[in-house]
A and B are shown apart, each in its own frame.
Chain A
Amino acid sequence: MHVRTTRGLALVAVAAAAALALSGCAGSAAPKSGDGASVDFKTVKSAKDAGGLEALVAAAEKEGALNVIALPHDWANYGEIIAAFKAKYPKIKMNEITPDASSSEEIKAAEANKGTDQAPDVFDLGATVALASTDYFAPYKVATWADVPDTLKDADGLYVADIGGYVSVGYDSAKYPEPKSLDDLLKPEYKGAVALNGDPMKAGAAIAAVGWASVQSGGTLDDFTPGIDFFAKLNKAGNFVKVQATTATIVQGETPVVINWDYLNATATEKVPTWKTVILPGKGYAGYYFQAINVDAPHPAAARLWQEFLYTDEAQNMWLKGGARPSRGEAMAKAGTIDKALYEKLPAAPTDAVLPTKEQSKKAGETITEKWAAAVQ
């Protein structure tokens, strides 16, 4: 499935519609009823329900803590966002659980700590896991809910996209020429240089890279084999590095060319000034992360306040600063509240981008499981 797009989120979002529609109906898990007059924040579906944002703030401060999970500080500028939240609500102690957890580990942590004050309050999940885990989510709609394109959120408020981006190639321009096409990466000048952000069997960013290579080589998302074949060729040419690319390996110089989400590649520029991020011409590959509130959140009001905060203009612009495309971006651009300089600095979106459906993701997983290990050996 692919769609013509001009720029930004809204148009790719059309493609997301099918993916999200397939996620099944949004059954909210049994909420406990509040004790009489006081509001039970576990069931609050919007700030209005809570009696306004101030009431929500008061309740969250009374809870005094917020457990967030899997928010790496170098990921889409989360470090600054977390610091800003801490500064704005100093009475809420922020527990950062396992910042390098994968999306499935987030759900596991919720299960393993269910009913304790250690459970994560909010999730930040890749699409595959988000669509498969709706039983764990509590519905909630932030004040700026309407700004997020319908196709990037669950109609009942179980989950909503936070940021998105495209698969890109990051490279150290001081040492390597700019790749103009996928096949350029097979050239001898990239010997021992090209790395991925993890194993596609495990990491969302890596399987996206394989999907991207598939569509770039003329394939479709129904079959990731062309992408796997590309990496097999890359490996055979001696250009593929099997070490996992991290900011540290980029700074150290071990992974000078990395295929990754554009906003993750953009982060490295801060540490390596000559680091450049390009989205290759031809078909693009889009991906989104989603916010959701844990239905068993130990700090339900703080969880909801965090959501409200993330979808303020302030936080959305911070994501933008991290090179990511925030889900309210289009609306904010229209309203003129977006940081224009940053918005224009984003690499131009591909004119034609694809996003896998739930079925395509599943099939891609099977193909990768079967063929990846042999391809890169």
Chain B
Amino acid sequence: MKSAATIAPGRGYRWVVGIVLGAVFAVPIFSMIEFTLRDPTGGYSLNHWLALGDSGLASQTGPIWEGLGNSVVMTIVTVAVMLFIVTPTILLVTLRFPKLRRPLEFIALLPVSVPAIALVVGLAPVYLAISRTFGTGVWSLGLAYGVIALPYAYRAIQASVDATDVKTLAEAARTLGASWPNIFLRVLVPNLRQGLMAASLLTTAVVFGEYTYAALLVRQNLQTALVVVGQQDPFTGVAFSLLSLFGAFLLLYFISRVGSAGSAGTTRRSTKRKVRVA
């Protein structure tokens, strides 16, 4: 990795960008924190934060835990869609149907270009059918979230596909007698792990931040719960929003640390195996 430094700008640049842009992006968050610290009697205090632990409020924050649980379930479904439906399709198009690339790109961009509120109008009848056939479990909303997350996940995956010469890799593995499932799992996936990781993180963030679909299709998730709780009191609302941002950040940080450590390990192992196969 030392050689990466030959392209990268110097350390000084890194510090300047880190401090200046870091500060710019921290200010609005800081303003929210400042707001929650304001004491009704003037000055600052931790009163609003301490009040979050009150038993009276605890009974009202129940929806948050339920919403959080639902969001986790939906996230699992949505990430599964990304990894098991979207990723193979991108690889297949790259390897075998390069002419379909632009159409696929357009499809992947469409969800982000139509406001969710307009798309949900058309989604309502679809969900009515799903609810009547498979029940109204929250998991099913994860499927619709796959579409919202598609533009972001697609870009992340496609970028790493473009950066990796998947065609040569796949053909090479093929000539060496590897089966397609093996090529996907042992050759391509390890090489695409950065893109897949980014796609999964983004997908998680999309699901945790989604409000419109849940609200209009009448499912409870983290964001709808935050709205319910936020209405009790603006301070509580902002405090919980901060907590959810921070919680999502911690979750993603944790996933990417475990993920990068884990996948780095498997890559090493699997490439070794590949050598043996070869």
Contact = CB atoms under 8 A, between A and B. Distances in A.
Give yes or no for direct A-B contact (beta carbon below 8 Å). yes
Contact of B218 (A113, A246, A271, A273): A113
Nearest to A75: B231
Interface stretch (A48-56, A117-125, A154-162, A227-235): A117-125
Contact of A251 (B59, B216, B235): B235
Interface in A86-120: 95-101, 105, 108-109, 111-120
Contact of B216 (A96, A108, A116): A108
Given A99-B227, A115-B128, 12 more contacts: A72-B231, A74-B232, A98-B215, A98-B216, A98-B218, A105-B215, A112-B217, A112-B218, A113-B128, A116-B128, A248-B234, A271-B40
A113 B233 CA distance: 30
B228 interface: yes
A252 B37 CA distance: 12
**A interface: dominant SS:** loop
A105 B216 contact: yes
A79 interface: yes
A69 B216 CA distance: 11
Contact of B136 (A75, A100, A117): A117
A247 interface: yes
A112 B215 contact: no
Given A74-B231, A96-B228, A98-B224, A112 B128 contact: yes
A362 interface: no
6 contacts: A83-B60, A96-B63, A100-B227, A112-B125, A116-B128, A117-B136
B193 interface: no
A236 interface: no
B234 A246 contact: yes
B127 A73 contact: no
Given A74-B232, A108-B124, A111-B124, A248 B218 contact: no
Contacts of B217: 112-113
Contact of A116 (B40, B131, B220, B235): B131
Interface in A117-146: 117-120
Given A99-B227, A113-B128, A73 B219 contact: no
Nearest to A298: B136
A109 B59 CA distance: 27
B35 interface: yes
A112 to B, nearest CB: 4
Contacts, number: 82
B96 interface: no
A99 B124 contact: no
Contacts of B220: 95, 97
Given A113-B128, A118-B218, A73 B231 contact: yes
Nearest to A79: B232
B238 interface: yes
Contacts of A79: 60, 231-232
Interface in B205-225: 215-220, 224
B102 interface: no
A108 B128 CA distance: 12
Contacts of B40: 271, 273
Interface string A66-86: 010100111100010001000
Given A112-B128, A118-B131, A118-B136, A101 B215 contact: yes
A39 B131 CA distance: 26
A74 B231 CA distance: 6
B190 interface: no
Interface-central residue, A72, A79, A112, A271, by most chain B CB under 10 Å: A112
Given A79-B231, A97-B218, A116 B224 contact: no
Contact of B231 (A99, A113, A119): A99
Nearest to A109: B218
Interface in A248-276: 248, 251-252, 271, 273
A97 B131 CA distance: 16
Contacts of B132: 115-116
Interface in B35-54: 35, 40
Interface string A309-342: 0000000000000000000000000000000000
Contacts of B127: 112-113
